[in-house]
Amino acid sequence: MSKTSRDLSPIFEPKSVALIGATGNPLKYGSIITANILANEYKGRIYPINPSEEKVWGLKVYPRIRDVPEEVDLVDIARPAEAVPEHIEECVESNVKAAIVISGGFKETGKEGEEREKEIARIARKGGMLLVGPNTMGIYSAKVSLSALMPPILPKPGEISLISQSGNIGTNLLAFGSAQGIGFNKFVSSGNEADVTILEYMEYFAQDPASKVILLYTEGLREGSNFVDVVKRITEEKPVIVYKSAVSKAGASAAKSHCGALAGSSKIYEAAIKQSGAIRASTVNGMLDLAVGFLYLPLPKGNRVGIVTWGGGYGVIASDSCELSGLEVPALSPETIQKIDQLLPSYWSRGNPVDLVGLINREVQPKVLEEVVKADNIDMIIASGFILSSSIGSSLYKLLGREQEDAGKNWAASGTKIIVNDIKTMVDKYHKPIVAVTLTTDSSTLKNVIESRVSAYSTLETAVEVLAKMHEYQKKLKKEKEYKLE
């Protein structure tokens, strides 16, 4: 953490939360946010604030923040914009440490809103209170089990910390990732950033040991921001994965009306991201795929990929994808070929990719994979088609009936468990990244694999992007290190 950055723990580790605008009306966000906090079993104390209600979701309601019997760490404000400055004033008077302003109707709506936004930022700063937003969808923190979020979702706890300049995209990523078995540590929808900015969140996550990978969805940057300096320092310690939108004229114009005018040319920002050493995802959901790779795998030491597939066509696509991403698909060494000769039928291709030529024997499959993993001229490995969808064998099930369907699902699931363990063991033993490609839309299969901490993807193209960007990051780290040693 740089010396000038503030301690954001009142936002992410509050001992108590008050909700100004809490209500029993289930169609209002003041109700949904309270429900989210309760449903996620927040570890601190909760104080709904509303002068005209007595109970919200069974909790005692206080008329004003000053009526709460303790000094509150964090306040969540879901009230019309006009009412917000007064609430901010009250919070400061009651020694609240941080406020999240959910309400819209600020800078993003024009001149009047901009003035109002400046006003609340001024009051908060003067009172030494941190301010998240306004125009934010809230925050999440695994440590205290706090889901102070607008949409009714329950994130899965984990190691990713995410900052999003779009509330919808951020909360969708939380929902989407959680459904895929990917867990989050901290999340903030940064909103209009009247006070705390994305760089401050990033510095906070950088020094937070529970945040292993930092994700950023960004549309634009504030003027005079020292993005390169700050992020460069962070990427030397942990990966920062960025999706930058508003890269076109149409996109920039949409962003302007979306989260208020953001200064700085997109091109300059893009250059800054590159210079900072942050990893740029090619799609917004792709940030999660990259995070899974960086979380569960060691970095590759070179750019040479070994490919093992169940199905030759996928080997062709994987090879294309590697070469187009700057990765090499080297020939197998005579030793490796000799070893695999003892495992596969005589007509196997003797090349990289290794096609398992329809081999059904699930004991031999991981042995072939291991020969490729341990090869000296291979730095990273794609294992495609090893993990079977739990719904495989529909025609056999149909003929053999319900009982066989269950037996078949168990067979696929137990096979998946074995190969998942084999892959984990090989990653640990050989210190090389292995990505699994499931080639299935069966989301429950993929989820189980990811929850076992194996990096698995449903398409080869995604798997290759992950490997290519891990290699890029490793190269950069190495260069930095050499530079420092000189």
Site for a copy of itself in 59-98 (CB under 8 A): none
Q: How many residues line the site for a copy of itself (CB under 8 A)? A: 90
131 within 8 A of 98, measured Cβ to Cβ = yes
Contacts for 417 with CB less than 8 Å, ≥ 6 apart: 452
Minimum CB distance to a copy of itself, residue 359 (Å): 12
Say if residues 227 and 216 touch (Cβ distance below 8 Å).
Answer: no
55/429 with CB nearer a copy of itself: 55
Q: Which alpha helices (DSSP H) does 207-285 contain, by range?
A: 227-235, 249-259, 266-276
How far apart, in Å, are the Cα atoms of 183 and each of 37, 153, 203, 443?
A: 18, 13, 21, 16
Stretch that binds a copy of itself, among 61-69, 72-80, 222-230, 277-285 (CB under 8 A): 277-285
Q: Which of residues 424-443 bind a copy of itself (CB under 8 A)?
A: 439-443
**Which runs of E-coded beta strand occur in 128-201?**
130-132, 138-141, 146-149, 157-164, 184-189
Nearest alpha-carbon partner for 276 in 268, 286, 264, 284:
268
37 near 148, Cβ under 8 Å?
yes
Stretch 289-328 residues interacting with a copy of itself (CB under 8 A): 310-320, 322-324, 328
HEC per residue, 357-413: CCCCCCCHHHHHHHHHHHCCCCCEEEEECCCCCCCCCHHHHHHHCHHHHHHHHHHHH
Minimum distance from CB of 83 to a copy of itself (Å)? 16
Query: In the stretch 19-58, what mask flags binding to a copy of itself with x, by CB under 8 A?
Result: -------xx----x--xx-xxx----------------x-
Pick one of 73, 193, 355, 371: the residue that binds a copy of itself (CB under 8 A): 355
Nearest to 260 by CA among 307, 223, 225, 313: 223
| CA-CA-CA-CA torsion sign (107, 110, 112, 113) | negative
Give whichever of 96 and 356 is closer to a copy of itself, judged by the CB atom: 356
- Region of 15-23, 62-70, 138-146, 283-291 interacting with a copy of itself (CB under 8 A): 283-291
Q: How far is the CB of 406 from a copy of itself (least distance, A)?
A: 16
Piece in contact with a copy of itself (CB under 8 A), picked from 66-74, 196-204, 253-261, 268-276: 253-261
Kindly state whether residue 255 participates in binding a copy of itself, applying the rule CB under 8 A: yes
Residue of the chain from 116, 258, 432, 471 that contacts a copy of itself (CB under 8 A)? 258
Nearer to a copy of itself, 32 or 234 (CB): 32
Contacting range for a copy of itself; rule: CB under 8 A; set: 61-69, 104-112, 123-131, 429-437:
104-112
| Comparison of 235 and 462: residue with beta carbon closer to a copy of itself | 462
> What residues from 144 to 203 belong to the interface with a copy of itself (CB under 8 A)?
147, 151-154, 164-170, 172, 175-176, 179-180
What is the DSSP-derived secondary structure letter of residue 433? -
**First CA to last CA distance, the chain:** 26
* Window 396 to 415, contacts with a copy of itself (CB under 8 A): 396, 398-399
Could you say whether residue 261 binds a copy of itself (CB under 8 A)?
A: no
Least distance from C-beta 36 to a copy of itself, angstroms? 4
Nearer to a copy of itself, 104 or 366 (CB): 104
335 near a copy of itself, judged by CB under 8 A:
no
**AA identity, residue 455:** S
Residues 440-479 that bind a copy of itself (CB under 8 A): 440-443, 459, 461
Cβ-based nearer residue to a copy of itself, 208 or 442: 442
Separation of alpha carbons 225 and 264, rounded Å? 9
Euclidean distance between CA atoms 330 and 350, whole angstroms: 12
Residues in 364-393 at the binding interface with a copy of itself, rule: CB under 8 A: 385, 389, 391-393
CB of 477 to a copy of itself, least distance (A): 26
DSSP three-state, residue 81:
helix
3-state secondary structure of 61: coil
- Which C-beta is closer to a copy of itself: that of 38 or that of 477? 38
Between 13 and 355, CB nearer to a copy of itself: 355
**CB nearer to a copy of itself: pick between 26 and 128:** 26
Residue with tokens 């990893």: 279
Q: Would you say 191 and 81 are in contact if contact means Cβ atoms under 8 Å apart?
A: no
Q: Of 76, 193, 200, 219, which one interacts with a copy of itself (CB under 8 A)?
A: 219
Burial (CB count within 10 angstroms: exposed 0-12, middle 13-18, buried 19+), residue 122? middle
- Cβ proximity to a copy of itself, 76 vs 442, nearer residue: 442
Instruction: Classify 143 as helix, strand or coil.
Output: coil
| Residues in the chain, overall count | 486
